[in-house]
Amino acid sequence: MYILGISAFYHDSAACLINDETIVAAAQEERFTRKKHDDSFPANAIQYCVTQAGIEPENIDAIVFYDKPFMKFERLLETYLAFAPRGFTHFSKVMPIWLKDKLFQKTQILKEIENTFEKNIDWNEKLLFSEHHLSHAASAYYPSPFQRAAVLTLDGVGEWSTTSLALGIENDLKVYKEIHFPHSIGLLYSAFTYYTGFRVNSGEYKVMGLAPYGEPRFYKLIKENLIDIKEDGSFHLNMDYFDYCTGFTMVNENFNKLFGAPPRKPESDLTNREMDIAASIQKVTEEIIVKLAKGIAKETQEENLCMAGGVALNCVANGVLLREGIFKNIWIQPASGDAGGSLGAALAAYHLMYRKPRTAAITQDKMQGSFLGPKFEENEIKTALSALGAHYEKNKFQEIIQITGKALANGKAIGWMQGRMEFGPRSLGARSIIADPRSPYVQKQLNLKVKFRESFRPFAPSIMRDKLNEWFELDVDSPYMLFVADVVKSKCHKMTNEENALFGIDKLNVARSEVPAVTHVDYSARIHTVDKETNPYFYDLLKYFYEITNCPILVNTSFNVRGEPIVCSPADAFRCFMGTELDVLIIDNFVLHKEDQDTNLRNNYEDKYDLD
C-alpha cells in the first residue's frame, strides 16, 4: 500500500512516500528549488518520491496532508476575537490572505497535485488530513525501535496544540494531553531568537550555539515575569510581553523594557548581553523539558520516550534529558520539524486510519539512517560535472578513502557527497563538509571562509561508534546528531588563569581538548555516531583516518553556505565547492581538486558569494 505524505505552506515543505511500513523516499522541497526553508507545495519532492519508488501516480493509494487548515483558521479567528481590539491592523492584513487562499487549502492542494502529476485521477477520494501534532507524534513513534513508548512533541504551534503527550502501543497511538496556543515553548524560544537578532524559524539553533558563551543571569527574570512553570512541566506564558498573537513581531515594548533595550539588529555585533540572554532562555527550556519528561514518566510508567517537533532539535536540552536518566531509552525523530510531518502523516494514515499492524524494527530504527533522498548514478555525475566545465578524476572506492583521509590529515577542507541525501536538517555523512578536528583553527576558518557564517558557531564531531566512550561522556547511539555530551576529561586541556578569565567570543580561540575544532567553549560537542551497517562508506573513511592519525573523529558540518539549503545534486556540490575555500570535492568515486579547476570559472563562483 503506497501512501504519500505532504507538508507545505508554512515552512520546510516536504514529501514522503511509504510502501506499507517501509519508508521508500523522503525529501524537503528546498533541496530541489534551492530556496532555503521553501514553504511552497513540494512538487519536486513528490516527483522524486514517486520516481524513486518506480511507480505511477495511479499506484498511490492515499495522499495525506500533515495538518488541518480549517482548524488553523479557527485558531486565528478565535485568537483575534480574544485579544480584540488589539491587533486589528494585523488582522485586517492577514484575514484577506486566509479568505483568498488558505481557508480553502483543500482545493489548492488538489489543484497542486493535479498539476504535479498531470493525470486524470480523482484525487479528492484519496486526499486525507492528519492533525499537526499527531503527525509529529507518529513520525517519532512509528519509526522508533520501541513496541510501546510515551511520545512528547514540542514546537511553535500546530492547529491549537503547542505541546502534546501521546502514548504509543504497538500500532495504536493516542494523544492524551495538550498545551494550547498561545502558550508555547517553541514560540517562547523563537521570541528570544527574534530579540537576539536572529531569524525566527531558522535561527533558533544559533541561540542554542551562542548560549555556552554566556551566563544565565536573566534566568530568574524570565521565570518571574514571562512564564509560570509547574512541577509537571506544564506552563503558562504572560502574554503582556509578547506580540505574536496580534502583531507582526514576536515581542512588544514591555518585553524590551524588561530586558532594558530594543531587539538586537540583525548582523550587528554580538555582545555579552546577547550571550547571557541565550544562556538564560536555554536554561529555562531545559528545565521545562526535564519537568515535562518527569511528569510523563510518572503518569505513564513507560520506560521509552519518543520525541518530535521543532524543539526536539534542541540537542543541548536532549543531552540534559538523557543525563537525567528519567527514561531508559530515548529516540528522537531526525526530521523533527515540519518536514518530518509529511512522514508522520503517512504513517498515521497507515496505522490509525487503515488500522494496519506495526512490526518491530529490525535495526536500531526504521529511518535507514535518514538516508532517504536522491542518489546520483555515475553517468549522471559525469554528465553534470562535464557540463559545468569541471576537471575531475575517477578512482576506485578504496582509493577514494585513502585520498580523502590523507587530504584531511594534511589540513584540507573537503566537500563529501556520497549516496542518498539525508532527510532532515542534519548532514550525516552523505552531504557533509569534513575536516580534521585536531586543528585549533578549523572552526573559525570553516565558519568564515567556507560557511560564511558567524564565527561562534560550533561544529559536530562524527565518530566511529566503537570509539565513542574513549572520547565523549556518552554511551548511547547518536546517529542523527541529536545529543550533546562533554569531551572526556582525559582528552581535555587544563585552562590557564588568563584563559579562564576570558569573556564571550574571546573564548573561541582557546583550544580546550585534543579535538578543539569540535569542542565547544563549555567542553561539549553535538555528537554524531557512525556505524558500519548504517553508513559503511563514511565509517570506512573514519576508520582510515583513525589508522593514520590515531583520531577516530572528523569535523562534520552541512554541505552548504549560509543562506542556502544543503546541496542535493552534483551540480549543487560543484557550485558550493567553487564558490568557497573548500580544497577538495568528493562525489562518490570522483575527485576534484581546487587547483585543477579553471581560474576564470573559480572567479565567477567566488563573485556569487561575494568573497573578500
What pLDDT score does 611 carry? 38
For the residues of 24-42, what is the DSSP string, one character each?
EEEEETHHHH--TT--S--
Residue 191: CB atoms within 10 A of its CB come to 24
**Rounded CA gap, 486 and 493, in Å?**
13
What pLDDT score does 610 carry? 45
- How many angstroms separate the Cα of 597 from the Cα of each of 28, 45, 98? 31, 32, 50
Residue type, 8: A
What pLDDT score does 447 carry? 74
Contact (Cβ atoms closer than 8 angstroms) between residue 345 and residue 333: no
Rg (CA), the chain: 24
- How many angstroms separate the Cα of 8 from the Cα of each of 108, 135, 313, 424? 11, 13, 20, 15
Residues near 504 by beta carbon (within 8 Å), at least 6 away in sequence: 213, 214, 270, 271, 272, 275
Q: Which residues of the chain have pLDDT under 50?
A: 610-612
For the residues of 389-455, what is the DSSP string, one character each?
T---EE--HHHHHHHHHHHHHTT--EEEE-SSPBSSS---SSEEEEE-TT-SSHHHHIIIIIS-S-T
What pLDDT score does 477 carry? 95
CA angle 548, 549, 552 (to 5 degrees): 105
Would you put residue 19 in left (φ > 0), alpha (ψ -120 to 50) or beta? Answer: beta
Contacts 24+ apart (CB under 8 A), 450-453: 450/413, 450/561, 450/580, 450/581, 450/582, 451/557, 451/560, 451/561, 451/562, 451/580, 452/561, 452/562, 452/563, 452/580, 452/609, 453/561, 453/562
Residue type, 202: S
What pLDDT score does 505 carry? 67
Query: Which among 159, 139, 161, 162 has a CA at the least distance from the CA of 149?
Result: 139
DSSP code of residue 610: T
Cα-Cα-Cα-Cα torsion 430, 433, 438, 441, nearest 10 degrees, comes to: -170
What pLDDT score does 80 carry? 53
What pLDDT score does 84 carry? 53
What pLDDT score does 338 carry? 94
What cell does 284 get? 529555562
What cell does 155 get? 514546537
Contact (Cβ atoms closer than 8 angstroms) between residue 230 and residue 299: no
Contact (Cβ atoms closer than 8 angstroms) between residue 65 and residue 6: yes
Q: Can you give the pTM of this predicted structure? A: 0.92
Helix (H, G, I), strand (E, B) or coil at 195: helix
**Strands, sheet with 460-464, edge to edge from the N-terminal-most edge strand:** 393-394, 590-593, 584-587, 414-417, 431-435, 553-558, 460-464, 524-530, 483-486
What pLDDT score does 42 carry? 98
Write the pLDDT tens digit of every residue in 569-594: 999 999 999 999 999 999 999 999 99
Contact (Cβ atoms closer than 8 angstroms) between residue 585 and residue 414: yes
Give the chain's domains with CATH numbers: 2-142+336-368 (3.30.420.40), 185-331 (3.30.420.40), 378-608 (3.90.870.20)
Helix (H, G, I), strand (E, B) or coil at 3: strand
What cell does 44 get? 519536486
Phi first, then psi, for residue 454 (nearest 5°) are: -60, 135
How many angstroms from the chain centroid is the CA of residue 15? 16
Residues near 38 by beta carbon (within 8 Å), at least 6 away in sequence: 12, 13, 28, 29, 30, 565
Query: Which among 464, 488, 440, 431 has a CA at the least distance from the CA of 551?
Result: 464
